[in-house]
């Protein structure tokens, strides 16, 4: 889910920004350009954890810019199919619900919600069990399994499921934890 990666990137800086704080300016520009972005290859960049090396700058032909090779470490978030995530529900409708787990949004279709839960429209749309003991509505916390991922150049799309034993709203999980060891839930 979280990975620590080392990469190198060429950073361009205009000469008017040169001075005694050149390194700090390069690091600040790197953070602004890279953090909170999505790479189709690596995932969502959470934070830069360090700058290992800044090479000598080379003047680009025909421009005033100077290019510096910068080697840096960063943490990425990349969920995989089959992972179990805890998420907060952000929107509920008759087609299913959306939940957020950190920086990603997950869609859970109504076909992947347990059969004993039905959609209830009204002031606060929700999925409720037949006995009314458990509700999934906005701001509910759920544990779900990732069943599908799609990563493009700028975003990660996830599909989740609650139709697995031990997965679902936290109020329901409290009673299940006594019956099922966590090692059985993850498999």
Give the tens place of pLDDT for each residue, 72-108.
Answer: 999 998 888 999 888 999 999 999 999 998 888 999 9
Whether 2-77 shares its CATH topology with 83-162 is answered no
- The label of the residue with tokens 């005033």 reads 64
* Residue 24 predicted with pLDDT over 80: yes
Residues 109-142 have pLDDT tens digits of: 999 988 888 999 989 999 998 888 888 999 998 8
Selection from 182, 178, 111, 171 nearest residue 139 by Cα? 171
Judge whether 185 and 84 are in contact, CB under 8 Å.
yes
Selection from 135, 129, 128, 84 nearest residue 106 by Cα? 84
Rg (CA), the chain: 23
Q: Where are the domains of the chain?
A: 2-77, 83-162
H helix count then E strand count, the chain: 3, 14
185 in the Ramachandran plot: left (φ > 0), alpha (ψ -120 to 50) or beta?
alpha
Helix (H, G, I), strand (E, B) or coil at 146: strand
Within its chain, how far is the Cα of 56 from the centroid? Answer: 35
**CATH C-level class of 83-162:** mainly beta
CATH number of 2-77: 3.50.50.60, 3.30.1490.120, 3.40.50.2300, 3.30.1370.60? 3.30.1490.120
Whether this prediction's pTM lies above 0.75 is answered by no
């Amino acid at each position: 889910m979280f990975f620590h990666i080392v990469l190198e990137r060429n950073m361009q800086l205009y000469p008017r920004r040169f001075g005694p704080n050149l390194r700090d300016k390069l690091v600040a520009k790197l953070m602004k350009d890279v953090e909170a972005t999505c790479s189709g290859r690596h995932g969502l960049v959470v934070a830069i954890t360090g700058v290992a090396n800044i090479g000598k700058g080379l003047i680009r032909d025909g421009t005033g810019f100077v290019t510096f090779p910068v080697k840096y470490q960063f943490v990425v978030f990349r969920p995989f199919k089959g992972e179990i995530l805890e998420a907060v529900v952000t929107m509920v409708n008759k087609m299913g619900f959306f939940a957020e787990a950190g920086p990603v949004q997950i869609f859970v279709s109504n076909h992947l919600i347990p059969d004993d839960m039905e959609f209830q429209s009204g002031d606060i749309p929700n999925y409720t069990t037949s006995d009314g003991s458990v509700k999934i509505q906005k701001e509910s916390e759920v544990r779900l399994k990732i069943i599908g991922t799609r990563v493009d150049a700028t975003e990660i799309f996830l599909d989740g499921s609650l139709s697995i034993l031990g997965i679902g709203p936290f109020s329901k999980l409290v009673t299940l934890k006594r019956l099922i060891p966590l090692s059985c839930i993850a498999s």
